[in-house]
């Protein structure tokens, strides 16, 4: 998956297989993504250890790790830094930082040692306009088949929205499980978009269909209820 030409790396795209790699982490060696078959993965990068924005992010992710685990999702972090620096930083987070009432946070998910920048390059996390030696805040959502489903990029100085990452994960799982699409600003429990009819006859039927609480704004835009309880029952472990 990694293509190099004069030190240029083709960035992965939505729908691509996640680039494969082996790496050392704060939780031992991993074979990515094979070690997490059957799980969703959120692979995310950050610019450096012992930096303020990254510290707030790791505390937040650490406090939410159980929520992601219940959604069958493995978190995997990456920094262009060494293993000992990673360990020292995560120990500092656990022992010394109290941020917004979050304290004594143990980071149980792996943080990749990528001092050689191999993984960062393969995933397009190095963007020279920001930095040639530090990764931007990239986020890759990878499904249980190892396919990249969503990609987010944040600049180095802007912290990520973690509730949005959780919403994206639940949204992707809802799309797959229920065969629907999701409208603007969708939150779990809101109405979802029914599949577009494939023929004129089906379109006519859809517009006049009052079953399942279907509401049609036009033949191609119809919504229907999908209660939060039904989503939780289907998605959570």
Active site residue ranges: 54
134 class by beta-carbon count within 10 Å (0-12 exposed, 13-18 middle, 19+ buried): buried
Answer yes or no: are the C-beta atoms of 77 and 98 closer than 8 Å.
Answer: no
d(CA 12, CA 9): 9
- Pseudo-torsion of CA 42, 43, 46, 52, nearest 10°? 30
Number of H-type helices and E-type strands within the chain: 6, 14
- Fill in the DSSP letter of residue 173: H
Answer yes or no: are the C-beta atoms of 140 and 44 closer than 8 Å.
Answer: yes
Provide the 10 A C-beta neighbour count for residue 40: 20
137 is in an annotated binding site: yes
Long-range contacts of 98-103 (CB under 8 A, 24+ apart): 99/55, 99/56, 99/59, 102/59, 102/60, 102/62, 102/63
Helix then strand then coil, % of the chain, to nearest 5: 30, 25, 40
Q: Which residues contact 237 (CB under 8 A, 6 or more apart)?
A: 69, 70, 71, 72
Q: List, as residue ranges, the binding site for substrate.
A: 137
Q: List, as residue ranges, the binding site.
A: 137
């Amino acid at each position: 998956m990694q293509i190099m030409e004069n030190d240029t790396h083709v960035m992965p795209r939505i729908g691509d297989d996640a680039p494969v790699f082996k790496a050392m982490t704060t939780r031992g060696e991993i074979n990515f993504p094979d070690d997490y078959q059957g799980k969703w993965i959120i692979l995310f990068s950050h610019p450096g250890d012992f930096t303020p924005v990254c510290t707030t992010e790791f505390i937040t992710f650490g406090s939410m790790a159980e929520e992601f685990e219940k959604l069958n999702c493995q978190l995997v972090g990456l920094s262009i830094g060494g293993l000992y620096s990673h360990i020292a930083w995560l120990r500092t987070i656990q022992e010394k930082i109290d941020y917004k009432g979050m304290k004594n946070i143990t980071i149980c998910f792996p943080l990749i040692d990528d001092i050689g920048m191999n993984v960062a390059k393969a995933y397009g996390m190095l963007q020279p306009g920001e930095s040639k030696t530090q990764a931007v805040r990239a986020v890759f959502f990878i499904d249980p088949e190892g396919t990249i489903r969503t990609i987010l990029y944040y600049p180095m100085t802007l912290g990520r929205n973690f509730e949005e990452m959780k919403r994206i994960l639940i949204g992707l799982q809802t799309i797959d499980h229920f065969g629907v699409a999701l409208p603007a600003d969708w939150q779990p429990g809101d109405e979802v978009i029914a599949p577009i009819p494939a023929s004129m006859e089906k379109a006519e039927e859809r517009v006049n269909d009052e079953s399942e609480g279907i509401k049609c704004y036009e033949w191609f835009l119809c919504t229907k209820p999908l209660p939060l309880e039904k989503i939780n029952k289907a998605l959570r472990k």
